[in-house]
């Protein structure tokens, strides 16, 4: 993904990270407000139920007192006693006594008019009854309730059943368990009231929030406007917004960190390794005495999904410094074997070289990777060459042990960029090296009046003395080629012949280059190559 694309995606994610938690905070606050309001209304419905039970219980207590004293004659003493009980009992406004349903007296005195108990009674527990609208004992306009047991009756104001103090605007109501409304503190939708008293429920609709509770004698409910939820939402937001801001900042920081990781070379490398984006190109190795192509140097290339290519001299040193070069080497080995196995079986004199980093030499893991990759391919071990730069010999003992195993397995070992580091004749003598590669800087100095031009003959002479074959890197002119041939250098590579080519183009070059050349008489090349750059 291009840098601009990464930045665009990161910017979009940062906006989402900043906005979505705040929207979530509002949503959570809103939902929390609904939950709190329903819970709040449920509490008030329960308190209303308790208030109704309390008032009915007081009426029952008054009637039990009257009945226990057997006051049925309505004498002056009886009337006085009814007045005392009425005055002493909270909620009870009046007590009446009937005979055969006809009222004979009440707390105010004997009744002279023919008044009778009326109205369909609502059964209560313990044999008590409840009548609405005065039950014939009071003016209906006064809205009195009548609690009755036999011929004894207590009257109380129906608003007593719902006189619960509340801290937010709401409507309270009480009804019988059969669903008959008894008292509602305001105007309410009859359909909603019917729903609330028929079952214990909690919820909301387009304009209201509600809850109901059921007891042994009554069902109570509480209803509020959704505007109360808006008020509660504001209160919840003051609690949630700081959390939302904190989450937003954390997510934005995470997006920035991930973006930086994605934009960083380390992040890009890890992604490239995971996706196996690395491929091998092949720079031909030419036998200088015959002009034949005898092998190739496998050079790593990193094409990105967006069509761009990362330069090897940018990512390889970074991969070496950050412990990822081993994974890249493993990908290169797999890529080379997959590409070249058919060609190597068909052309047994062809050799492909793969570069090893100091980390590869120290770990020795590449030996297992190469061995596994070659299984069942028919490719000879001797057709895959392993090349190590001078830095690979920093730990000489470890390098010697690893490369000896590689040589014993049949591989030819090449030392690359010789003369640019600290290699010495004694070191070369102690290592299982068969090929010495002459660095491009020494090839460039051939025929020039430069200090390095004096070193090149000594390197060539040293290789001859150790019976090492040589590959000259970076040949760009026929003059350089002629001097190297004269000096006894066997192989060369460089732009004089070809740049590094994808597999198909390399095979086309190989066939064209070797067409018409005789195979006999030429020394079998040792096919070395430089590194992954």
The CATH number of the domain where 308 resides is what? 3.20.20.450
Among residues 203, 238, 263, which one ends one of the domains? 263
In this predicted structure, what is the pLDDT of residue 524? 37
In this predicted structure, what is the pLDDT of residue 530? 37
Residues 205 and 281 in one domain: no
Indicate the Cα dihedral angle 171, 177, 180, 186, nearest 10°: -10
In this predicted structure, what is the pLDDT of residue 54? 94
For residue 167, the enclosing domain spans 1-263
- Please indicate, yes or no, if residue 368 is contained in any of the structural domains: yes
Residues 225 and 341 in one domain: no
Among residues 263, 292, 314, which one ends one of the domains? 263
Among residues 240, 263, 286, which one ends one of the domains? 263
- Please indicate, yes or no, if residue 525 is contained in any of the structural domains: no
In this predicted structure, what is the pLDDT of residue 260? 66
Beta bridge partners of 144: 157
Helix and strand numbers, DSSP H then E, in the chain: 15, 21
- Please indicate, yes or no, if residue 524 is contained in any of the structural domains: no
Residues 318 and 180 in one domain: no
Residues 137 and 7 in one domain: yes
Residues 157 and 280 in one domain: no
Return the H-helix or E-strand segment holding 387. Answer: strand 384-389
Separation CA 6–CA 12 (nearest Å): 10
Q: In this predicted model, what pLDDT tens digit does every residue of 458-469 receive, in sequence order? A: 889 988 988 999
In this predicted structure, what is the pLDDT of residue 521? 40
In this predicted structure, what is the pLDDT of residue 267? 77
Total residues belonging to the chain? 533
Residues 366 and 450 in one domain: yes
- Please indicate, yes or no, if residue 523 is contained in any of the structural domains: no
Low-confidence ranges of the chain (pLDDT < 70): 1-14, 17-18, 71-72, 141, 235-241, 244, 257-263, 419-426, 449-453, 516, 518-533
Residues 287 and 415 in one domain: yes
Tell me whether residue 219 is exposed, middle or buried, using C-beta atoms within 10 angstroms of its C-beta: 0 to 12, 13 to 18, 19 or more: buried
Check residue 276 and give left, alpha or beta (phi > 0: left; psi -120 to 50: alpha).
left
Domain count, the chain: 2
Residues 390 and 411 in one domain: yes
In this predicted structure, what is the pLDDT of residue 509? 95
- Please indicate, yes or no, if residue 332 is contained in any of the structural domains: yes
- Please indicate, yes or no, if residue 287 is contained in any of the structural domains: yes
C-alpha atoms less than 13 angstroms from C-alpha of 186 in its C-beta half-sphere: 10
Residues 497 and 352 in one domain: yes
Residues 252 and 336 in one domain: no
CA distances from 434 to 108, 354, 396, 415 (A): 131, 15, 17, 8
Separation CA 49–CA 221 (nearest Å): 8
């Amino acid at each position: 993904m291009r840098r601009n694309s990464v930045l665009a995606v990161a910017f979009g994610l940062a906006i989402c990270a900043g906005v979505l938690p705040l929207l979530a905070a509002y949503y959570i606050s809103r939902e929390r407000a609904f939950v709190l309001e329903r819970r709040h209304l449920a509490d008030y419905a329960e308190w209303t139920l308790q208030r109704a039970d309390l008032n009915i219980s007081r009426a029952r207590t008054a009637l039990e007192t009257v009945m226990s004293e057997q006051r049925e004659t309505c004498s002056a003493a009886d009337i006085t006693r009814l007045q005392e009980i009425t005055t002493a009992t909270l909620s009870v406004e009046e007590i009446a006594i009937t005979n055969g349903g006809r009222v004979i007296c009440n707390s105010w005195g004997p009744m002279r008019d023919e008044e009778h108990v009326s109205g369909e009674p609502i059964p209560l527990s313990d044999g008590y009854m409840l009548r609405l609208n005065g039950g014939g004992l009071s003016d209906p306009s006064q809205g009195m309730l009548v609690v009755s047991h036999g011929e004894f009756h207590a009257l109380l104001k129906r608003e007593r059943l719902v006189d619960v103090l509340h801290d937010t605007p709401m409507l309270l109501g009480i009804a019988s368990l059969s669903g008959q409304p008894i008292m509602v503190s305001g105007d309410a939708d009859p359909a909603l009231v019917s729903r609330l008293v028929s079952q214990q429920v909690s919820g909301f609709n387009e304009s209201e929030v509600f809850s109901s509770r059921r007891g042994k004698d009554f069902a109570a409910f509480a209803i509020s406007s959704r505007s109360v939820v808006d008020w509660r939402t504001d209160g919840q937001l003051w609690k949630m917004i700081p959390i939302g801001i904190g989450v937003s900042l954390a997510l934005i920081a995470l997006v920035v960190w991930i973006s930086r990781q994605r934009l960083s070379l380390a992040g890009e490398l890890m992604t490239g390794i995971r996706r196996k984006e690395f491929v091998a190109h092949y720079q031909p190795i030419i036998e200088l005495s015959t002009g034949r192509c005898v092998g190739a140097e496998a050079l790593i290339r990193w094409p990105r999904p967006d069509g761009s290519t990362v330069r090897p001299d940018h990512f390889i040193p970074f991969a070496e410094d950050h412990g990822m070069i081993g994974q890249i080497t493993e990908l290169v080995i797999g890529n080379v074997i997959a590409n070249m196995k058919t060609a190597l079986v068909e052309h047994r004199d062809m050799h492909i070289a793969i570069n090893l980093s100091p980390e590869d030499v120290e770990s020795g893991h590449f030996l297992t990777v190469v061995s596994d990759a070659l299984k069942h391919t028919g490719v000879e071990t001797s057709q895959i060459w392993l090349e190590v730069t001078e830095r690979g010999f920093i730990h000489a003992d470890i390098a010697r042990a690893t490369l000896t195993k590689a040589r014993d397995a049949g591989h030819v070992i090449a030392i690359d960029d010789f003369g640019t580091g600290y290699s010495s004749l004694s070191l070369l003598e102690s290592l299982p090296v068969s090929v010495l590669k002459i660095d491009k800087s020494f090839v460039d100095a051939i025929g020039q009046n430069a200090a390095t031009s004096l070193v090149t003959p000594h390197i060539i002479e040293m290789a001859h003395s150790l019976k090492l074959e040589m590959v000259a890197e970076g040949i760009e002119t026929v003059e350089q080629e002629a001097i190297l041939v004269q000096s006894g250098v066997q192989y060369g590579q460089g732009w004089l012949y070809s740049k590094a080519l994808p597999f198909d183009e390399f095979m086309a070059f190989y066939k064209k280059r070797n067409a018409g050349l005789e195979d006999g008489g030429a020394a079998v090349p040792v096919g070395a190559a430089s590194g992954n750059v």
